[in-house]
Structure 1
Amino acid sequence: MVTRAQRAWAVLDTVLDPEVPALSVCDLGIVRDVIDHGGELEVVLTPTYSGCPATEMIEENVLEALRAEGLGPARATLRRAPAWTTDWITEDGKRKLQAYGIAPPHTVTPAPAYAGAGSVPGAQGFPLRFFPKAALVSCPRCHSKNTERLSAFGSTACKAMYRCLACREPFEHFKPI
């Protein structure tokens, strides 16, 4: 027999994230628990970051979906500790991000350091510093690692804006947190 909490999990897997509508709130990993208290369901949510503007909308959408399926009454509880991390995004969620055109956090690979990283004498005796390149991000369209970051922030604070130098398409990258 399927429990009320299991039915709630199935419903929550259909509730889309308002900022990345390719992912459900379960794919994103922000639904931490569903607890059946007998007369009431409690859905424990961890926002992607404190102050996320979509948090209230997510709470409302979660509770409305449960009510629409006849699983209410229900309440949402925000739990900010432990803090959400991109490790909580499911593997299916990462595939959905890529298909949607957003590079998921797992596509980041460290770039090789410049040869002779460190400092060398420069003009007028001031040292020149060489630093390793930033991490490489694969293009979600053509999978090239020949990409460049255009901006540290994309349409939301959790994403950065990139451009693929191979296919010339801009794309967002869900930053690893």
Structure 2
Amino acid sequence: MVTTLARQDAWTIAAGVADPEIPVVSIEDLGILREVRVGPDGHVQVVITPTYSGCPAMEAIRADVLAAFERAGHTDVEVQLVLAPAWTTDWITETGRRRLEEFGIAPPVRGAAAGREGSAPVSLTLAVRCPQCGSPETRELSHFGSTACKSLWVCTACKEPFDHFKPL
């Protein structure tokens, strides 16, 4: 007899998986968890989107999702990687943004990715606020930070370096 997992329960299992590069946020917080489907036969399909194509964390995330379902007693699970629509920092949840900032990573301004389809107005970020002291007196040190989806910044007020999620 197949015990079918409810879709919401399956979503909760997948949503609880932490990002391997930034463990204070879940894959749901980052907006890379796109969909969870449960078939009538109990087969679970989890759909994820990388923060950028070629993201090396995706295999670790796939393994972590499978392990989370196995711990919950479900082994008929598949993790599907989709590239379209492309992930955008606008998909980061408010909880995710708060957790990133508390962890010392400046989250992008909501709407910074506006205009990707060509019809919305383009948002301009005038300042990146320091997640340590809140000062807008910051500057980019390197367009590439600890991962390709982040850039390295420094606060000129408190002198602390920090990562900033690139608005994608």
Deviation for aligned residue 1:108: 9.6
Q: Indicate whether 1:139 and 2:108 are aligned.
A: no
Q: Indicate whether 1:60 and 2:51 are aligned.
A: no
* Alignment partner of 1:73 out of 65, 76, 90: 76
Deviation for aligned residue 1:84: 0.6
Corresponding residue of 1:99: 102
Q: Indicate whether 1:167 and 2:158 are aligned.
A: yes
Give unpaired runs (5+ residues) of structure 2. 113-124
Corresponding residue of 2:27: 25
Aligned residues: 152
User: What's the TM-score once normalised by structure 2's chain length?
Assistant: 0.85
Corresponding residue of 1:9: 11
The verdict on how the C-alpha distance between 1:74 and 1:45 changes in structure 2, with shifts beyond 3 A counting, is same
Deviation for aligned residue 1:162: 0.6
Instruction: Give the RMSD, CA atoms, in angstroms.
Output: 1.9
Deviation for aligned residue 1:4: 2.1
Corresponding residue of 2:139: 148
2-structure distance, mates of 1:36, 1:72: 12
* Structure of larger gyration radius: 1
1-structure distance, mates of 2:155, 2:12: 37
Q: Which has the higher strand share?
A: 1
Select between 146-155 and 12-21 the one with higher mean Cα deviation. 12-21
2-structure distance, mates of 1:84, 1:16: 17
2-structure distance, mates of 1:67, 1:5: 16
Q: Does the CA contact (< 8 Å) of 1:101 and 1:171 recur in 2?
A: yes
3-state SS in 1 of match to 2:96? helix
Deviation for aligned residue 1:19: 1.1
Q: Does the CA contact (< 8 Å) of 1:12 and 1:24 recur in 2?
A: no
4+ residue segments displaced more than 6 Å: none
Give unpaired runs (5+ residues) of structure 1. 110-133
User: What's the TM-score once normalised by structure 1's chain length?
Assistant: 0.81
Task: String of CA shifts for 1:138-159, please: whole Å, max 9, x gaps.
Answer: 0001110001111001000110
2-structure distance, mates of 1:55, 1:153: 19
Corresponding residue of 2:121: none
3-state SS in 1 of match to 2:61? helix
Percent of residue pairs identical: 52
1-structure distance, mates of 2:21, 2:154: 21
